[in-house]
């Protein structure tokens, strides 16, 4: 070892410190990349969701072990592993937004102290007595910033995701004195979970009534209007359109990254969910905007009987996230970079562009066509770019799900959405890596 004079500007100790610092930085970098790899690369530890049947979970489990074991025998760049890998796009887990939140740094962290938010109650003077005011304020603010819903004269009811709110709405709109359960209908293709969620408890209050397009029974009914629609992305209005209809508007996807904001929704009962806006599905937070006081009360009662309120921790976290989204919109064009919606809109534009290019290259598949519309949020004419692809197998392929499964792409058959198996629903919200695999695989078919 060369001798370094002790009087030199940089002593051995200095170099040792520098070297140690470099070591630490390398170790940290390795750890960070390891973590990223674990979350976002070869091992698919976050799959995609939508309630349907128990087989989905089993299927995911098979996929998980399959992709994990393939990893054990190969590296990410191994071409064979890449082509053998099962790509699960059945569920709609919005993992794509993770990278935005990683970039956002510490400002979206939340600290909850051991003694905070311990009570069942938040504000007993509010109809929704478990609603955190911070969360309610951020919901109202975001709707104002985006312009996608009228909030004046509405009650906010918070739920454990919009699923719980959907059930709460069925309970609130049905009558416990009715001789028969009220029919719940939705135009096909409809969200695959609606029929099961409606009927799994064999309720005497409501029951699944099938496709709204062919619904002709007299008397009261509940119609679900999902707009933009899951699975096909089209903007919708009521189909049955009779005076005795009670409407639930599921507006999970009525946000700027998915569809042009043409006007603020002005409905009796609209449902929203954090999952599809920001990607925070694990937080299980949704909300309803409700015009009628008695309906808001009954929805609250449902949640009281179902789970005695909604996690305060998650409401506080959701408030922080929604606040960051609104901030990013209000600070657009400052040095903060793209707003959340600009970021996600660009991302969806890019994915849909890649997808259309691949699909249009051949004649095997077709995609839905959308009319562009003026988006009040982005101040320009834009085309919808839904969270799901509603893909049709053309020609002789009758069962599109099976056909794609042969090519190791897991999708959800049109059958589950009340239509032909020539259609499948495919998530567009998975990780960059999975989406890129999907595009490669599709172009190779």
Checking 380-385 for CB contacts under 8 A at 24+ apart, the result is 381/260, 382/260, 382/345, 383/260, 383/352, 384/228, 384/233, 384/234, 384/235, 384/258, 384/259, 384/260, 385/257, 385/258, 385/259, 385/345, 385/348, 385/349, 385/351, 385/352, 385/428
Q: Figure out which of the listed residues 209, 233, 260, 309 binds a second copy, where binding follows CB under 8 A.
A: 309
In the bound complex, what is the minimum distance in angstroms from residue 103's beta carbon to a second copy? Answer: 9
Part of the chain binding a second copy (CB under 8 A), chosen from 102-110, 214-222, 342-350, 375-383: 102-110
Nearest to 336 by CA among 97, 96, 104: 104
User: What is the side-by-side strand order in the sheet with 269-273?
Assistant: 155-160, 285-290, 269-273, 245-250, 221-226, 182-186, 206-211
**Is the Cβ of residue 52 or residue 392 nearer to a second copy in the bound state?**
52
Sign of the Cα torsion 226, 229, 235, 236 reads negative
218-255 in b/e burial notation, b at 16+ Cβ within 10 A?
Answer: eebbbbbbbbbbbbbbbebebbbeeeebbbbbbbbbbb
Binding-residue pattern over the window 153 to 172 for a second copy, x denoting contact by CB under 8 A: ------xxx-xx--x---x-
Least distance from a second copy to the Cβ atom of residue 60, Å: 4
Residue 3 or 177 with smaller CB distance to a second copy: 177
**Residues counted in the chain:** 445
Cα separation, 317 vs 96, in Å, equals 19
Give whichever of 15 and 200 is closer to a second copy, judged by the CB atom.
200
Interacting span for a second copy (CB under 8 A) from 74-82, 87-95, 226-234, 245-253 = 87-95
DSSP annotation of 143 reads: H
Of 46, 90, 250, 401, which one interacts with a second copy (CB under 8 A)?
46
Judged by CB under 8 A, the stretch of 145-153, 192-200, 354-362, 433-441 that binds a second copy is 192-200
Segment 322-351, which members bind a second copy (CB under 8 A)?
324
Q: Which stretch, 56-64, 246-254, 401-409, 434-442, contacts a second copy (CB under 8 A)?
A: 56-64
Q: Among 17, 30, 201, 381, which residue interacts with a second copy (rule: CB under 8 A)?
A: 201
- Residue from 34, 204, 219, 362 binding a second copy (CB under 8 A): 204
Does residue number 97 form part of the binding site for a second copy (CB under 8 A)? yes
Pairing of strands 423-427, 388-393: antiparallel
Report the Cα–Cα distance between both ends of the chain, in Å, rounded.
61
Measured between alpha carbons, how far is 231 from 226 in angstroms, rounded to an integer? 9
Q: Which is nearer to a second copy, 98 or 368 (CB)?
A: 98
Taking the complex as a whole, the smallest distance from the CB of residue 167 to a second copy amounts, in Å, to: 7
- Is residue 444 a contact residue for a second copy (CB under 8 A)? no
Question: Minimum Å distance from CB 222 to a second copy?
Answer: 15
Q: How far is the CB of 161 from a second copy (least distance, A)?
A: 5
Alpha-carbon span 274 to 324, nearest angstrom: 13
- Cβ–Cβ < 8 Å for 355, 389: yes
Window 216-245: contact mask with a second copy (x via CB under 8 A):
------------------------------
Q: Which residues pair with 225 in a beta bridge?
A: 249
The reply to whether 208 sits near a second copy by the rule CB under 8 A is no
Number of residues that bind a second copy (CB under 8 A): 86
The Cα 270–Cα 264 span in angstroms is 11
Nearer to a second copy, 312 or 392 (CB): 312
Q: Choose the stretch contacting a second copy; rule: CB under 8 A; options: 63-71, 74-82, 234-242, 383-391.
A: 63-71
Q: Establish if 177 lies at the interface with a second copy (CB under 8 A).
A: no
Residue 382 phi, psi (nearest 5): -135, 160
| Nearest CB to a second copy, comparing residues 96 and 442 | 96
Look up residue 28 and give its two tokens.
């940290």
CB of 83 to a second copy, least distance (A): 23
């Amino acid at each position: 070892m060369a001798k370094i004079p002790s009087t030199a500007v940089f002593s051995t100790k200095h170099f040792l410190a520098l070297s140690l610092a470099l070591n630490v930085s390398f170790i940290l970098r390795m750890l960070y990349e390891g973590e990223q790899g674990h979350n976002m690369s070869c091992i698919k530890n976050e799959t995609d969701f939508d309630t349907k049947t128990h087989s989905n979970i089993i299927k995911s489990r098979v996929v998980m072990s399959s992709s994990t074991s393939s990893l054990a025998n190969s590296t990410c760049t191994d071409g064979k592993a890449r082509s053998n890998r099962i790509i699960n796009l059945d569920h709609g887990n919005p993992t794509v937004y993770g990278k935005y939140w990683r970039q956002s740094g510490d400002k979206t962290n939340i600290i909850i102290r051991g003694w905070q938010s311990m009570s069942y109650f938040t504000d007993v003077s509010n109809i929704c007595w478990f609603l955190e005011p911070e969360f309610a304020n951020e919901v109202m603010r975001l709707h104002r910033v985006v312009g996608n819903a009228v909030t004046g004269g509405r009650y906010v009811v918070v739920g454990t995701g919009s699923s719980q709110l959907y059930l709460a709405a069925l309970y609130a709109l049905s009558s416990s004195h009715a001789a028969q359960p009220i029919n719940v209908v939705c135009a096909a293709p409809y969200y695959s979970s609606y029929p099961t969620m409606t009927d799994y408890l064999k309720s005497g209050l409501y029951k699944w009534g099938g496709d709204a397009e062919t619904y002709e029974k007299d008397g009261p009914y509940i119609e679900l209007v999902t707009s933009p629609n899951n699975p096909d992305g089209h903007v919708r209005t009521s189909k049955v359109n009779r005076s005795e209809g009670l409407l639930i508007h599921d507006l999970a996807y009525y946000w700027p990254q998915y569809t042009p904001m043409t006007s603020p929704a002005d409905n009796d009962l609209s449902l929203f969910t954090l999952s599809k806006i920001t990607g925070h599905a694990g937080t299980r937070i949704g909300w309803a905007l409700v015009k009628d006081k008695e309906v808001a009360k009954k929805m609250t009662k449902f949640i009281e009987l179902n789970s005695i309120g909604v996690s305060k921790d998650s409401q506080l976290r959701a408030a922080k996230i929604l606040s960051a989204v609104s901030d990013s919109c209000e600070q657009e064009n400052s040095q903060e970079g793209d707003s959340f919606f600009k970021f996600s809109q660009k991302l969806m534009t890019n994915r849909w562009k890649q997808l259309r290019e691949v699909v249009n290259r051949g004649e095997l598949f077709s995609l839905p066509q959308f009319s562009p519309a003026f988006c009040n949020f982005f101040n320009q004419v834009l085309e919808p770019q839904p969270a799901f692809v509603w893909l049709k197998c053309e020609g002789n392929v009758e069962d599109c799900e099976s056909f794609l499964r042969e090519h190791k792409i897991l999708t959800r058959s049109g059958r589950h959405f009340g239509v032909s198996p020539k259609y499948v629903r495919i998530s567009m919200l998975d990780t960059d890596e999975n989406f890129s695999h999907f595009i490669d695989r599709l172009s190779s078919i």
